[in-house]
Amino acid sequence: MKMKYFMTMMIAAVAVMLGVCSCGDDDDESEKALASKVVGSYAGEEILTVMGEDSNSAATYVFAKASDTTVDLNLPGTTGGSMQLPPMQVKNIVLTKEGDVINGKIASYTGTVVNADGAEKSYTVSDLVALFGKDIVVVTYTLKYGNMPFAFVGSFSGTKK
């Protein structure tokens, strides 16, 4: 009886262990798949707010895979109007999953870019949050460009192309 109880417990323990390992493998697979799930082009509306003034425009945000759990974002820039910004990139946005939503975050990213006049400008994108739903993304961030004295507050909502 004791042997039977012992064997039962052993089998249960092994099953639980395998189960746990299996669950762990599933999670790892899920984590690895995060970047692949969100990469792509999203078309939608971008709002850049400067000094309380909103500027709305159609834009396409492109997310490219950097690693299994990180993506790079290509901000399209603006080409018309009184303010012109060249395309800029934000690298290594870290992805995590919360429920049905994949959450991308980066506290601060500084890069350089060459503008239309050929001048090299540095920029900092900070406090960026990207939330991915089913074929939908929303992005919020703050952009400091070159020596511009004021920051842009950017937001974007788009659907996957």
Helical H segments across 1-104, by residue range: 2-38
Gap between the Cα atoms of 68 and 71, Å rounded = 8
- Of 2, 4, 81, 99, the one binding another protein (CB under 8 A) is 81
**Nearest residue (CB) to another protein, 35 versus 137:** 137
124: closest CA among 88, 155, 92? 88
- x-marked contacts with another protein along 16-55 as a string, rule CB under 8 A: ----------------------------x------xx---
Closest Cα partner for 98 from 52, 133, 127, 51? Answer: 133
Cβ of residue 65: shortest distance to another protein, in angstroms?
A: 21
Contact with another protein (CB under 8 A) among 16, 80, 95, 96: 80
- What count of Cα atoms within 13 Å lies in the side-chain half-sphere of residue 52? 0
Residue position matching structure tokens 């669950």: 23
Can you give the binding site for another protein, defined by CB under 8 A?
44, 51-52, 56-58, 78-85, 101, 103, 110, 115, 117, 119, 121-124, 126-131, 133, 136, 138-142, 144-151, 153, 155, 157, 159
